[in-house]
Structure 1
Amino acid sequence: MKRWGIVRAGVAVVAGAGLVWGATEATGTADTTRHSDVRTASVDTTSDRVTELSLTCTGADLDGTVATASVPQSWAPTVPAGGTVRVAGSASGDLTLQHGAATDAKLPSSVAGRVIATGGLATGLVAGQLQVDTRTASRGLTVSNCATPARSGWFFGGGTEKGRVARLTLVNPAATPTTVDAAVIGSGGVDKTASVDGTVLAPGERKVLTLGDFGPDLAAAVVHVTASGAGVAASLTDVWMTGETPVGESTSSDAVSPAQDVVIPGVKATDAAPSVRLAVPGSDQAIVRVRAISTSGAVVADQVTTVSGGASTVVGLHGLAAGSYAVRVTADVPVVAAVMSRTGTSGTTDLSWATAAPDLTEPAGVALPAGVPAGSAQLMLAATRKGTAQVVTVAASGDSTTKTVAVPADHPVAVPVGDARAVWVRPIGKVSVHAAVTVTGHDSSGAFLATVPVQPVTLHQATSRLVPARG
């Protein structure tokens, strides 16, 4: 027998590309909710398995690639061998994906991709999308997770510079309409002129909102997206041109939630200083400390600033040597934060937004599409308390490599992962880590850069029962 039900926050939780197992009393479809995130999955609770899972890729304005990856089989030994994966919106049909492996599919321009997994492949599936833009009018590498619908999330991008535009992409994967508000926050609070309220999306609809012509108060623009009903899958693309010279392009799809302790791994420093954007969602003033920590464990930048409630600001991380860093932001009230990096200060460059990485206590993963020119990737692990994590990388050939990595407190660890198609992280013992993958590449015009946080997958049954939803 099947019932429709809802598993509420604190009962069964999913974040990013993760997975929650079903409850104990019914077989049916469950909406799992944590703070802002909403995910629909079909759950066979008689066998404690999720039988169908869907993730939404917001798509891009050029043809791109969607990658999918299945959790290492040794991490989920009870999962059945069968299952299917397809990308709705792609012409690829069912994908050939083995347990513990990864594969790609092409996604046409201006199309949202809905990744649907059934059977054993619904357990621990992750997905990501890629676009390599080499046009003269815009240029850059974008790599982002295929996200869950959210009722609330914070996104970063755009600015007051000429030739800089933020594009907010919204997708409604649900069977009912949803209404979305996008509030643009600057140093003076919400800017009503730049904000867009009341955007209605029909079931399955994709819309792109251009947020441009930012005034001087929006040099530190942060976009708060809220949605009704089942929520919305969203991403923000930051495109920046100086005259005819591309500064870069970046897409972020992970809906950041406010916290008092924010860890942002995968920050790159070049001759262009990274910059931290902060916003305070509440009405109380925040005292915020921003630290940049090198892979040697040295705190190479340490600044304290005050931010008004409901407003945003920028903290520049000047004087950093070229290399990789984790940024830790702590405050006396919840804040949101992200870091922008550039590959250089002159000529054709690229930019990347590194967003807050979730606190991982369970297995986590990221799928990395192929197609980055001269591409290579690096995993960064960071922890506020010392811990150890198992890292599995899956190559295009399907071969996997496993290593155990010790992560000291406030001492980020960089792990080269080459051209891996999937990266998996599993904390060992009762510890937590934060993780992100930075992808680099280059062509004859210049360098490419993108950073994507590693998101959790949950492989164990939730301990609560499935509650029938009221009609």
Structure 2
Amino acid sequence: MNRTTLSLIAGATALAAVTGFAALSTPDTSGDSTAKAAAQLPVERTSLLCPEPSSSDLAETSYTAFTPVTKGAGGSGKAELAAANGQSADGSTAGKSGKSGKKNTGAPVVRPKEPGKPVTGTAEGAETPGLIGTATGRFAPGWTVQETTQVAAGTGRGLLGTNCTAPDSEFWFPGAGTADGRTDYVHLTNPDDSAAVVDIELYGKDGALKSTLGEGITVQPHSSEPILLSTLTDETDTDVTVHVTVRSGRVAAAVQALDDKLGGDWLAASADPAGSLVLPGIPKDATDVRLVAFTPGDSDADLKLRLASPTGQITPAGNETLHVKAGMTAAVDLGDVTRGEAGSLLLTPSDTSVPVVAALRVVRGKGDKRETAFIPATAPVGTRATVAGNRSKGTTLALTAPARTTQVKVTASAGSGGGTPVTKTYTIKAGTTQNVDAPVPSGLKGTYALTVEPVSAGPVYAARTLEAAGEGLPAFTIQTLPDDRGAVAVPEAEQDLSVLQK
């Protein structure tokens, strides 16, 4: 066998290893050359990164990991979530012996035993490190991890939650701030064996904020780095868009937005810039909603604002449109826009479509008993989406069908401590948002996961609100549910020996 043949076989083998399921088949002797659609097959490996949860000594953090049962997934594999920086889950650093006073270095916070059943872990205090998680085989498709932190007092007190995210090369965060009373961090987590180099740009109402300290930030291998936004610029602005780009390597990024008076939460990245955006799941008792938008291109954007309510689309009074100047962050107060009903904000072009990113800052409560959460523009549920860490009380699932009436199947998993899965199907009318009576596992013990799957045509958007009691404070957090990317398109490959003759 000559070297050319060996190279071709090696290349085909490498392709199969990367895709996980690429197949080589002999040419069809019938002569039929009709192209076949790529197969949707379960992914074999998933990485998720969780930021450092809090700098407060009063913080109490829980992690919930879950993989939905996926048809066609491999029969083996594993998943675990461990400290990113050589610390144990409780934040103590191990000595040379590999042991800390409480836990082994890098001991997993969670290690699921089987798909379909969530598993939990906890941590306390300010020294809890960022976490790096990997799932392989049958644990990889749709693997999700929820990080939820309750802080009793101080800046950012309340409930903070985030879906741990996959590494990427670019992130947009409209809705951050550098004004007095705000303490916002961008958290960067590097899962790889080599350092990542990252640039951070900040844009306010008048354009780019002056900063040279955001260029060429090095994030060491297997580490998580929180960076205080106010250290990157001397300029203050109430509404700031953060742009994270990776020069080399890859990171996961999230913004922790903390307010002296309004509590705080995690601000997840907005969906990729697009002409039309959906921001689902505004709580019906929201007392103040603020829209923040940014267009990264050279053209201004003019947007129409519509609220998808339980009865259809309506125009927020006095806020029919929003003009977003190129390279500048725009913001508008929508007040108590939902007026006691479920709602989602729909942004569409008034005329020419110009890509934008956007997020909502949502406030519940009044006076000194107010709390904040964020809703970034998000991608649709797609094939399937999952959110973990749900409780028997204080969980609200919002479903939005902006274009056409759609049926949606929602499955409540088994509980982390016991319980039987339950499935319900809902019909969401076109142009509406519904806060559905989400199923709860029968005999529930512990927390559980909700998996959302559209069963008819039409895009569906979803968000989960999680509430916690806290001395009169309406503590809450909101997570959107984009597609879980549990499947990958794998084209059918065929042998073509004619290339050996060229």
Partner SS, residue 129 of structure 2? coil
Match for residue 62 of structure 2 among 49, 60, 65 = 65
1:87–1:105 Cα contact (<8 Å) kept = no
Cα displacement string for residues 175-233 of structure 1 (whole angstroms, at most 9, x for unaligned residues): 22211111111111111249722211121121111113888872221111111233210
Query: In the alignment, which residue of structure 2 is the partner of 1:144?
Result: 162
- Aligned residue for 1:12? none
Give the Cα separation in 2 of the matches to 1:428 and 1:23. 26
Q: Which residue of 1 aligns with 2:468?
A: 441
Q: Percent identity?
A: 22
Contact 1:156 1:353 in 2 (8 A): no
Equivalences for residues 65-214 of structure 1 within 5 A: 65-71=62-68, 73=69, 76-89=70-83, 90=89, 91-92=107-108, 95-107=111-123, 109-159=127-177, 161-193=179-211, 196-212=214-230
Q: Tell me, what secondary structure is at the counterpart of 1:212?
A: helix
CA contact (8 A) 1:157 1:236 kept: no
Deviation, structure 1 residue 318: 2.8
Q: Please say if residues 220 and 312 of structure 1, whose CA atoms lie closer than 8 Å, have aligned partners that are also in contact.
A: yes
2:333 alignment counterpart:
316
Q: Give, as a single letter, the amino acid of the residue that structure 2 aligns with 1:79.
A: A
1:229 is aligned to 248
Q: Which residue of 1 aligns with 2:382?
A: 361
Q: Deviations over 1:328-356 (max 9, x none)?
A: 11232011111111112311321000111
Match among 268, 271, 275 for residue 256 of structure 1:
271
Work out whether residues 270 and 342 of structure 1, in 8 Å CA contact, stay in contact via their aligned partners in 2.
no
Report the alpha carbon displacement of residue 22 of structure 1 after superposing the two structures with TM. 3.4
Instruction: Answer whether contact 2:390 2:450 (CA < 8 A) is retained.
Output: no
Q: Write the deviation string for residues 311-335 of structure 1: whole angstroms up to 9, x where unpaired.
A: 1111211353134310111232011
Name the structure 2 match of 1:336: 357
Contact 1:157 1:166 in 2 (8 A): no
User: Could you say which residue in structure 2 is the equivalent of 1:29?
Assistant: none
Q: 1:303 aligns with which of 309, 317, 320?
A: 320
Amino acid at match of 1:426: E
Tell me what 2:489 maps to: 462
1:391–1:404 CA contact under 8 A, matched in 2: yes
Structure 1 window deviating more from structure 2 (267-276 vs 346-355): it is 267-276
Distance in 2 (alpha carbons) for counterparts of 1:165 and 1:402: 41
Q: Distance in 2 between matches of 1:5 and 1:189?
A: 49
Aligned residue pairs total 426
5+ long unaligned stretches in structure 1 = 8-19, 27-46, 467-471
1:265 and 1:189 mapped to 2: Cα distance? Answer: 28
Q: Larger % of strand: which?
A: 1
Aligned partners of 2:182 and 2:133: how far apart in 1?
31
Structure 1 residue 114: Cα displacement: 1.5
Residue identity opposite 1:55 in structure 2? L
1:404 equivalenced with 2:425 (yes/no): yes
Checking the alignment, whether the CA contact within 8 Å between 1:394 and 1:422 is kept in structure 2 is yes
Relative to structure 1, the CA distance from residue 144 to residue 424 in structure 2 (aligned partners, 3 Å threshold; closer, same or farther) is same
Distance 1:445 1:131, change over 3 A: same
Q: Give the whole-Å Cα distance in 1 for the aligned partners of 2:259 and 2:354.
A: 32
Choose from 431, 440, 451 the match for 2:458.
Answer: 431
Map of 1:32 onto structure 2: none
Query: Residues of 2 paired with 1:441 and 1:3: CA distance?
Result: 53
Return the offset for 1:115: 1.8
Q: CA deviation at 1:145?
A: 0.9
What displacement does 1:441 show? 2.1
Cα distance in structure 2, aligned partners of 1:293 and 1:413: 9
TM-score (ref. length: structure 1): 0.82
State the distance in 2 between where 1:424 and 1:123 align. 13
Q: Indicate conservation of the 8 Å contact 1:102/1:398, yes or no.
A: no
- Per-residue Cα deviation, 1:383-435 (whole angstroms, up to 9, x for no partner): 22222211112252342221111122210111133776211111113322111
Instruction: Give me the whole-angstrom Cα distance separating, in 1, the residues matched to 2:461 and 2:14.
Output: 29
Q: 1:192 to 1:135 in 2, by over 3 A?
A: same
Question: What is the CA distance between 1:118 and its match in structure 2?
Answer: 2.6
Shift of 1:64: 1.9
TM-score (norm 2): 0.77
1:24 corresponds to 2:42 = no
Between stretches 62-71 and 156-165, larger displacement belongs to 156-165
1:349 pairs with 2:370: yes
Over 3 Å counting, the alpha-carbon distance change for 1:92 and 1:445 in structure 2 is farther
Indicate whether 1:391 and 2:389 are aligned: no
Aligned twin of 2:5: none
In structure 2, stretches of 5+ residues that fail to align are: 1-8, 25-39, 84-88, 90-106, 441-446, 494-502
Larger radius of gyration: 2
CA distance 1:156–1:65, shift in 2 (3 Å): farther
Letter in 1 for 2:153: R
Distance 1:289 1:5, change over 3 A: farther
2:479 equivalent to 1:452: yes
Q: For the aligned residues, what is the CA RMSD? A: 3.1
* Shift in CA distance, 388/369, structure 1 to aligned 2, threshold 3 Å: closer
* Alpha-carbon distance in 1 for matches of 2:385, 2:315: 29
